[in-house]
Structure 1
Amino acid sequence: MIASVSGVVKATTLSSAVIEVGGVGLSLSLPARFAASLTVGTHAEIFTTLVVREDSLTLFGFDRASSRDFFDLLQTVSGIGPKVAQSALSIYEPEEIASAIASENAAALERIPGLGKKGAQRAVLELKDKVSALNIAQKSNSQSKSNWRNQLSSALIGLGFSAKDAQSTIDLVSNELGSQVESTDISQLLKLALQSQGRN
């Protein structure tokens, strides 16, 4: 198993990157929020897991070991494959997913592209007793809410926004809501962000 790679970022897309290791360019599939954080020409250390299928070998990369471990854990749920697990980590931090599962908040998991209502319910049912085994600290509601900028940025980038456009849109939403932004659900923030683009 390839547990990690370390090298220079040669290219990036919305959900992948090419890392040069020992003169070889490795293509890695990444969560959108992580891909957006990488800069071409800089050095990066990426935690990885190799997914083997009959017709493909895909190397998935993550910013930290806990993200990789959660990616593997999510795939133990019936109906959840690598793409859905990657989508989950594109919009949520591992701690946020763990918190949603522990509190049986299936509605939060339904926002994960490709999961759906039944998939979210299965994830809660099958993983509730397992999340503690990964030693992923569960964030309080206030801590989770303080991460709304990262969540919204990842969602917008996943919809095709550039990092710059996503940031300017987030600033518009923040200015519009003021102090209420911290207590507003992320799905409502995304709706307001898209509406603000329609007005501009």
Structure 2
Amino acid sequence: MIGKLKGTIEEIGEDHVLVDVHGVCYVAFCSARTLSRIGSAGEAIVLFIETYVREDQLKLFGFMTALEREWFIILQGVQGVGARVALAVLSTLTPSELANAIALQDKTAVSRAPGVGPKVAVRIVTELKNKAPAFAGEASGSIGLKQELGEGVASSAVTDAVSALSNLGYSRDQAANAVAAALRSAGEEADSAQLIRLGLKELAR
């Protein structure tokens, strides 16, 4: 089982990279996002690897971070999501963006990935909602509030503040981040007007 490759980029294809490890070249299939970040031929590379062994094939899938690899595995636990669709999702959303979308039950964000229809998007945000906090990465600070919003159990002050900021043109994710920051500074007892005011300051930074 291969868990990580450290080597030199030999060639970058449309959906894969060829990695030279001491003269042995490995083909690792990657998301478009990963391929755009790995560099150019001749440069050093480190990829976290998920190895797929089937009766008729052996495939390596490469990721820039262990968190991205974890989401690749987790996504395939959803009915209708195979390796190709999982890579498409990770080509469209970063791990943190995916965790945010799932927490907020944002089916539209997930369905932007090629090959992800409305039904699959619903299954992803529904079935993986309990996974989001553990694999939120840099979004972990606000993921709890986003889950409350997604499940419709957030306080009225928080809901009203996020709605007001969204109506000003900010995405629901941006609005939720700003309100989460406002709550940290103002406290849980802050009313919606205070959260909106502090949220706007946060968004203006």
Normalised TM-score (structure 2): 0.66
Residue segments in structure 1 that go unaligned for 5+ positions in a row: 141-181, 186-200
Identical-residue share of aligned pairs (%): 36
Q: State the alpha-carbon separation in 2 of the partners of residues 7 and 68 from structure 1.
A: 18
- Counterpart of 1:104 in 2: which secondary structure? coil
Q: Report what 1:91 is aligned to.
A: 92
The CA deviation at 1:9 is 0.2
Aligned 1:128-167 pairs, distance under 5 A: 128-138=129-139
Is 1:30 aligned to 2:30, yes or no? yes
Range with bigger deviation, 55-64 or 32-41:
32-41
| 1:15 maps to amino acid | D
Q: Distance in 2 between matches of 1:137 and 1:129?
A: 17
For 2:102 and 2:136, the matched residues in 1 are separated by: 14
After TM superposition, give the deviation of residue 97 of structure 1 in Å. 0.5
Task: Write the distance in 1 (CA, Å) between the matches of 2:23 and 2:119.
Answer: 45
User: Alignment partner of 1:111: what SS?
Assistant: coil
Number of aligned residue pairs: give it: 145
Partner of 1:121: 122
Offset, 1:34: 1.4
Match of 2:49 in 1: 48
**Worse-superposed segment, 127-136 or 87-96:** 127-136
Structure of larger gyration radius: 2
With a CA cutoff of 8 Å and minimum separation of 6, indicate the structure with the bigger relative contact order. Answer: 1
Q: Which amino acid aligns with 1:104?
A: Q
Query: Contact conserved, 1:14 with 1:36, CA < 8 A, in 2?
Result: no
- In structure 2, the gaps of 5 or more residues are 143-168, 173-205
**Which of 87-96 and 45-54 deviates more?**
45-54
Give the AA of the match of 2:28: L
Q: For residue 61 of structure 2, what is the aligned residue in structure 1?
A: 60
**Once superposed, which parts of structure 1, at least 4 consecutive aligned residues long, lie more than 6 Å away?**
none
Name the aligned partner's letter for residue 22 of structure 1: H
Match of 1:76 in 2: 77
Distance 1:99 1:74 in 2: 14
CA deviation digits over 1:142-173, x for unaligned, max 9?
Answer: xxxxxxxxxxxxxxxxxxxxxxxxxxxxxxxx
Whole-angstrom distance in 2 between the partners of 1:42 and 1:52:
28
- Verify the 8 A CA contact 2:96 2:136 in the aligned structure 1: no
How far the C-alpha of 1:92 sits from its partner, in A, is 1.1
Give the deviation of 1:52 after TM superposition.
Answer: 2.2
State the alpha-carbon separation in 1 of the partners of residues 170 and 31 from structure 2: 26
Q: Deviations over 1:71-94 (max 9, x none)?
A: 111011111000000111111100
Is 2:99–2:136's contact at 8 Å kept on the other side of the alignment? no
- What residue identity is the alignment partner of 2:5? V
Shift of 1:183: 4.9
Report Cα offsets for 1:83-142 as digits up to 9, x if no partner. 0001111111000011000010011111111111000000111100122223523277xx
